[in-house]
Amino acid sequence: MIAIVDYGAGNSASVLQALTHLGHRAEVTSDSGLVARAERVIFPGVGAAGAAMASLRRLDLLGALRERIAADRPFLGICLGYQLLFRFSHEDKTECLGALPGEVVRFPDDLREVADGRRLKVPQIGWNRVEFAGSHPLWRGIDSGGEFYFVHSYYPRPETAPGMTLMHTEYGLRFASGVVRGALCACQFHPEKSGRLGLRLLDNFCR
């Protein structure tokens, strides 16, 4: 069974709908015991880092999430659920889960397209290319450079770590739009809202 972590931060229902469409059995839950026992865990999220971490503390989910990641069992973070894996977020000056080295920073207010100097909107809302480094089962059958759907004003800035493979995207600057390390996978984009490629990525994770 796949546990989709529900901590009041948004898009768990759309993730469940995508997995149901793919034929995978999943459950939306805030039960730390179920998160610990599940075969796979998906940690989605939208909204602000400070409120999300407060909700995780209130629901007593922090320990279960940290233990799950430390055990190197299949885990997928999505959007805010990707950002919260890092040590610190400058959004609300928030101490996060600390599972990945690095911090989460905001796009500059004067963000511009590299090629032509065109002003870019923050948050980034819409489709953008994702480049994959090397090969990995998570993106089997997906060509590097395919487009996925983003909604975010902040992005992670990982520190170099052994065994970490990054995905990259350009939006005024080149940023880490995802990471894989062991059984931990995480992405800034929303695979559940990214059409055929996003469904393929979710299916790869579930298999």
Q: What is the pLDDT of residue 10?
A: 73
Q: What is the pLDDT of residue 60?
A: 96
Dump pLDDT digits (tens) for 159-206: 977 788 999 999 999 999 999 999 999 999 999 999 999 999 999 999
50 alpha carbon, distance to own chain's centre:
16
Q: What is the pLDDT of residue 54?
A: 97
44 alpha carbon, distance to own chain's centre:
7
**What contacts 77, CB < 8 A, 6 or more positions away?**
43, 44, 84, 85, 184, 185, 186, 187
C-alpha count within 13 angstroms, C-beta hemisphere, residue 22: 25
Q: Residues 192, 13: contact at Cβ < 8 Å?
A: no
Q: Exactly one of 91, 96, 187, 190 is catalytic; name it.
A: 190
Spatial CA neighbour of 35 closest among 27, 25, 44: 27
- Upstream peptide bond of 74 is cis (omega within 30 degrees of 0): no
Q: Exactly one of 91, 152, 185, 192 is catalytic; name it.
A: 192
Domain count, the chain: 1
Catalytic annotation on 152?
no
Both structure tokens of 61:
């989910």
pTM of the model: 0.96
In which domain, by residue range, is 176 found? 2-206
Q: Residues 49, 94: contact at Cβ < 8 Å?
A: yes
Catalytic annotation on 147?
no
Catalytic annotation on 27?
no
Q: Exactly one of 79, 96, 185, 187 is catalytic; name it.
A: 79
Spatial CA neighbour of 85 closest among 187, 192, 171: 187
Q: What is the pLDDT of residue 135?
A: 87
Q: Which residues of the chain have pLDDT under 50?
A: none
- Within 10 A of 153 (CB to CB), how many other CB atoms are there? 13
CATH value at residue 72: 3.40.50.880
